[in-house]
């Protein structure tokens, strides 16, 4: 099944290519896998005060396995924290939020990362 969820309604910038998107996603996923949950909450309001960085990577949390290889099948974009939160709230209102990962823009590894599930639960990994 082809994923048609394209972050419509999110004010965003694209990365340079699909390989860059996969690389960024797997760095965020690696960070998440190497950290325990610092905070788990059912409220998106938690992120209102936490999203202080200007720009973030935001991506679908869609990974498939082909043998031992993991393949990223989502998209990653760059957006402001304010725009991401507006997008998430609007998606929750219509019941169409998909699992996402979010991290501040980084070079090698993010300083923190957030997972959002399709119910709007927030999983915060890393420092505050």
Cβ-contact 71, 43 below 8 angstroms: no
* Residue 1 confidence (pLDDT) above 70: no
Using a pLDDT cut of 70, give the percent of the chain over it.
95
Q: Residue 38's pLDDT is what?
A: 72
Q: Quick one: which of 102, 104, 117, 113 has its CA closest to 38?
A: 113
Mean pLDDT, the chain, integer: 89
Give the model's pLDDT for residue 19.
78
Mean pLDDT of 84-102: 92
């Amino acid at each position: 099944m082809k994923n048609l969820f394209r972050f419509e309604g999110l004010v965003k910038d694209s990365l340079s290519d699909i390989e860059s998107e996969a690389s960024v996603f797997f760095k965020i996923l690696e960070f998440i896998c190497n950290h325990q949950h610092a905070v788990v909450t059912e409220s998106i309001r938690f992120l209102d005060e936490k999203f202080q960085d200007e720009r973030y990577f935001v991506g679908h949390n869609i990974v498939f396995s082909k043998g031992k290889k993991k393949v990223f099948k989502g998209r990653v974009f760059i957006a402001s924290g304010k725009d991401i939160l507006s997008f998430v709230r609007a998606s929750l209102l219509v019941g169409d939020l998909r699992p996402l990962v979010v991290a501040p823009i980084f070079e090698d590894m993010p300083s923190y990362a957030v997972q959002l599930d399709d119910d709007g639960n927030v999983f915060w990994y890393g420092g505050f």
